[in-house]
Structure 1
Amino acid sequence: MTAVHGTSVDIAAPDGIADAYLVHPDDGVPHPAVLLYMDAFGLRPRLRSMADRLAGAGYTVLVPNVFYRHGRAPVVELPDFIDPAARPEIFERLGPILRSLTPDLAMRDADAYLSRLADCPAAADGPVAVTGYCMGAGLALRTAGTYPDRIAAAAGFHGAQLATESADSPHLLADRITAELYFGHADEDPALPPEQVARLDEALTAAGVRHRGEIYAGARHGFTQADTAAYDRDADERHWTALLALLDRTVGPSRA
């Protein structure tokens, strides 16, 4: 694994300063850029370690605190091990914060994050990849549809509310997407029931989007997050295999 250099950075966002984590191979050479969207628990050691792993594979990775309007991360105090069933007050505090991040605000912010990567000496020129977890999967899908000329690949894992019946559901951007997409869905996930999985696939297929969606049998919502009760090691490693394969064939160093 390549040695990496990570640091906290501040990004000039539309409504203030967004704190973020930036990490890249420690070799002084620009590398393909990846925007990593957090889950609802936010920017914390687990997400930094995931970004480090991506950087070790040859990428420059930015993980923004998308809840920056509510303060620097962590915006809600978190235990080292997160078990929402044992700590329901965590979601009680996070719920209003999550709902306050409207699609319009999130996509205004996405422009700032992508611009930060475009200006980063450690990031190679050209389109970037996006990956997201839980709520971040929806942000990844929405970013691919809002900024199609800037996104070459987008992935989402144990995504939530990706294809609802609401007028602002992210799947409705399918006809604008030019990126290749991959989704790893948790099995029997209440945040993304089978009808939404089918609706997402139908929309992407109808729009001619290169995509693949897979159900991770037995995995729960949040299966990639090792600091939570939902973690599934096998499903997490499967996610890494799928994600790195997507990045390699779309923005990876081998394409330079």
Structure 2
Amino acid sequence: MPRITDTVTTADGSCTVSLHTPDGKGPWPGVVMYPDAGGARPTFDEMAGRLASYGYAVLVPDVYYREGEWQPFSMATVFSDDTERKRLFGMMSKVTPEIMASDAVTFFDYLAARPEVSGESFGTTGYCMGGRTSLVVAGRVPQRVAAAMSFHGGGLASDDPGSPHLLADRIEAAVYVGAARNDKSFTAENGETLDKALTAAGVEHAIEWYPVEHGFAVPDNAPYDEAAATRHWDAMESFFGAHLR
């Protein structure tokens, strides 16, 4: 799949992005793919290329661009290495809901200006931290998001005042959540809370539970599960096909 690297100017600096498109002329519906806590890296280039092959222009942002030239994480060891774990969580903590929304407007404006991209509203999808970002953006920039997906996303219905379930009455997008079992960051109780909030707000949505562990969809995560990842690709193809076409 064709791929370009570019920079977009945000309120806080220059954010590196990659844009992945199908072969051919287009234009195609746009999707922002938010990486997990490990940030943008080759695994997400591969994943964005696969989603692009379904007929989408897929943007992957460096959500940690405010850190400057940050050292990539090894996803195989980051959670067992105390120093690296602290660095990871320190970087994550700086990506607040306000920052997520502000950056998203810039990403959407960039997509809307690209000749490869059609329309003014877009899809969002994400993993882990990116899964939360996807739903936060759907609630905080509702007029620009037509379909929002989250895979093993954490903090989707928490006590935090920035929890995306509190934005349910603002969401205009259809929502899909692919949740993992035994996930302390999104429990069955959290799923019930999110479902009730989305239902009360009249949001079209689905919450599906995958019988695998957190991290199941991202190939360089230790809990990656090929069968569950295939199911998640099928879900994206179907969901975005229904709501972005």
- How high is the TM-score relative to the length of structure 2? 0.96
The correspondence of residues 56-95 of structure 1 with structure 2, limited to 5 A, is 56-72=53-69, 75-79=70-74, 82-95=76-89
How many Å separate the matches in 1 of 2:71 and 2:100?
19
1:77 deviates by: 2.8
Match of 2:4 in 1: 7
User: 32-41 or 141-150: which moved more?
Assistant: 141-150
The one of 232, 242, 245 equivalent to 2:238 is 245
- Runs ≥4 in structure 1, deviation > 4 angstroms? none
Note if contact 1:83-1:228 (Cα within 8 Å) is conserved in structure 2: no
SS at match of 1:200: helix
How many Å separate the matches in 1 of 2:184 and 2:105?
30
1:230 deviates by: 1.4
1:191 deviates by: 1.4
Match of 1:213 in 2: 207
Match of 1:119 in 2: 113
User: 98-107 or 153-162: which moved more?
Assistant: 98-107
Task: Give the 3 Å change call, closer, same or farther, for CA 53–207 of structure 1 in structure 2.
Answer: same
Match of 2:175 in 1: 181
1:78 deviates by: 2.7
> What letter is aligned with 2:135?
L
Runs of at least 5 residues in structure 1 that lack an aligned partner in the other structure: none
1:106-155 superposed Cα distances (whole Å, 9 cap, x missing partner): 21111111111111111012321110110111111011111222111000
| Residue 28 in structure 1 maps to residue 25 in structure 2 | yes
How many Å separate the matches in 2 of 1:230 and 1:83?
13
Runs of at least 5 residues in structure 2 that lack an aligned partner in the other structure: none
Match of 1:99 in 2: 93
SS at match of 2:115: coil
User: 87-96 or 117-126: which moved more?
Assistant: 87-96
Match of 2:215 in 1: 222
> What letter is aligned with 1:169?
S
| Residue 154 in structure 1 maps to residue 148 in structure 2 | yes
> What letter is aligned with 2:225?
D
Name the % identity. 39
- How high is the TM-score relative to the length of structure 1? 0.92
